[in-house]
Structure 1
Amino acid sequence: MPFVNIKTPEGALTRAQKEEIVHRTTDLLIGYFSEAARPHTMVLIEEVKDGGYGRADEIYVIPDAYRAREAE
């Protein structure tokens, strides 16, 4: 069973973007494992809270400009 775990900052993606990532990632894996793997393919998108991770000794907080905006 193919399994992909994607971590992203909380609020960076809309629901529609997450759905697209799941579909496109599944399609990518099917290209390697065959169509038989589709019902067994798991794509997990984990959202990490602001301040829950860091880089280069700095705690990361997503800037407002990068936060997802749901379609109105």
Structure 2
Amino acid sequence: MPFINIKTPEGALSKVQKEEIVHRATDLMVEYFSEAARPHTMVLIEEVRDGGYGRADEVFILPPEYRAAD
């Protein structure tokens, strides 16, 4: 079973965008593994709270202009 785990800042994606990511990621797995993979493909979108991620000693906070409008 293909399993895709996507981590994104909390509030960065709308419900519609998340649905699109699930569909497109599933389609990608089908391209590689055949249509038989579709019912078994799991796509998990994890939203990470502000301050819960960083790089090179910098803790990230999502700016308001990057938040999804929903």
Structure 1-normalised TM-score? 0.95
Runs of 4+ in 1 over 3 A off after TM superposition: none
**1:21 Cα deviation from its structure 2 partner:** 0.1
CA RMSD of aligned residues (A): 0.5
Query: Who is 1:48 aligned against?
Result: 48
> Which residue of 2 is the match for residue 67 of structure 1?
67
- For residues 20-54 of structure 1, the C-alpha deviation after alignment (integer angstroms, 9 at most, x for no partner) is 00000000110000001100000000000000011
In structure 1, stretches of 5+ residues that fail to align are none
Q: How does 1:1-72 map to 2 (within 5 A)?
A: 1-70=1-70
Corresponding pairs, count:
70
Query: Which structure 2 segments of 5+ residues have no match?
Result: none
AA partner of residue 26 (structure 1): T
